[in-house]
A and B are shown apart, each in its own frame.
Chain A
């Protein structure tokens, strides 16, 4: 397996606070890799740097050997690395279908002026966007709520909408920000299956940041563990479950417990 994304020695400092310190790992093509860690471990910051939503203080991120850190978010999205957000980040007053249609921006072949004048390419684009939106919503099992306003959706559907918007861009790598947060067991299992089918049927490499341990252990091929901005472990779910440093980070060391 070749490395699709290489995270090389990235560090992020906010003033004196070190959010990420010298983190290095690879993401292979077609794998599901989770980044876990206690609150404040720097998971979200790491994601923001990979998608260029925030610049690195030092270090680089490469996609197929091409640097993708310290660019503009839309440039990274154009290369096929697309992130999703937590549930509050949606197009509130668009319907589900409208959101998915608008998100196909990168697939557009006609120019903006072409859309204004109604050129042939633009009309073909519009038709193709509609078809793909319907297909995608069908794939995600969201056809029934296609004409619902995003602001009227319950939490579980919002998460799926976020993934639908991300998928509509036709990404190579999808970065999911806490896709299981606030879900009950059944919803989580549905989402786990959904993310798997995205990887299996659409050849999308998935990276996710998550708190829900059972779901992470279930879904991940590999896991990277952060604690206080440092990478403390990397490996398969079973390796991580038996890693002493990880157990310590989550449960506290025996000494700490006595101290409490």
Chain B
């Protein structure tokens, strides 16, 4: 139905088995339980990165995803802690709220192109951080801590989602939830890119004037895409806050926004699954370089420069280069 070739189906199958069965088994055997947290973070950050990738798809450099992740984290936390909502309802609400903010911000700023749009988005994260510090509903610098774990969900007495608070191993549960969200996000992204909306985005990315001459309402599509992008950011951020059980103004900072963008560059802007790989490599790369102490940043930066210099189309271009777009 989604137009996969046989080879791609096998690839997707292997990937799903690997993340849902392989990784838990491996962690069980090796006893490296700390990997759950790392991989859960990767999954959630890659959801936010997927949003950034989507704004690249309409030819806009988005360095503001941290803002929407932070908004999502706060909205979910406030709804759960102050309004007593179930986390599972606050999650889509957080995404929708981030999307709504994106409409309001996007309407004026999406008219900008190139470096001007990038500069404005770079400021957004700082604006949201400062807003969180100033407002009373966000508790200022103290942030919101002691967020309860997601409660169970049952419809007509049939349990759909178990109560995370009553679990012995929340790490595994969070890992599986994050992976599930990530899979749904990328499936939606893949579908979107290969549907008409994706084709229109490509036409806009390549030539906005020509796109509007064939009747594409480019202003409208830009806002739609930026909203979806920020929805992903909000979802990722909300889930992140729930796992950390706390949200602070510094939960997502400008550096995170830059990383979301780098994840896309590193994985490859031409590939839907690029940001997923980029997030994994970047996150683990940074951690692995921890060993070399004060030279961590230096080596990390040099590697990044080298990758962008020699693989301008991202890591996925190494393998997929000749097959074209996945």
B177-222, CB < 8 A from A: 191-192, 195-197, 199-200, 202-203, 206-207, 209-210, 212-219
Residue contact B207 to A90, C-beta cutoff 8 Å: yes
Q: How far is the CA of A53 from the CA of B209 in the complex (A)?
A: 9
Interface size class of B (residues with CB under 8 A): 20 to 34
B213 adjacent to A105 (CB under 8 Å): no
Q: Is the CB of B213 within 8 A of A82?
A: yes
Q: Which one of B196, B218, B224 has the highest number of Cβ atoms from chain A below 10 Å of its Cβ?
A: B196
In the bound complex, what is the Cα–Cα distance between A169 and B209 (angstroms)? 15
A77–B209 alpha-carbon span in the complex (Å): 12
Contact code string A126-158 (vs B, CB < 8 Å = 1, else 0): 100000000000000000000000000000000
Interface size bracket, A side: 35 or more
Does the CB pair A91–B209 fall under 8 Å?
A: no
Contact across chains for A85 and B210 when beta carbons are under 8 A apart: yes
Contact A105 B207 (CB under 8 A): no
Residues of chain B with a CB closer than 8 A to A74's CB: 212-213, 215-218
Using known A-B contacts A112-B196, A115-B197, determine if residue A94 contacts B214 with beta carbons closer than 8 Å.
no
A188, B213: Cα distance in complex, Å: 24
8 Å CB contacts to B: which residues of A77-98? 77-78, 82-85, 89-94, 98
B196 touches A85 (CB 8 A): no
| Neighbour of B191 across the interface among A53, A93, A106, A116, CB < 8 A | A116
Whether A105 lies near B210 (C-beta < 8 A) is no
* Contact flag A91-B215 (CB < 8 Å), given A108-B196, A115-B196: no
Q: Say yes or no: B197 contacts A92, CB within 8 Å.
A: no
Q: How far is the CA of A89 from the CA of B211 in the complex (A)?
A: 10
User: Pick the contact of B202 from A53, A102, A106 — CB < 8 Å?
Assistant: A102
Q: Which residues of A contact B (CB under 8 A)?
A: 51, 53, 72-74, 77-78, 82-85, 89-94, 98, 101-103, 105-106, 108, 110, 112, 115-116, 118, 122, 125-126, 165-166, 168-169
Which B residues contact A (CB, under 8 angstroms)? 1, 191-192, 195-197, 199-200, 202-203, 206-207, 209-210, 212-219, 224
- Can you list 6 A-B pairs with a CB-CB distance of less than 8 A? A74-B212, A74-B217, A83-B213, A90-B210, A102-B214, A106-B214
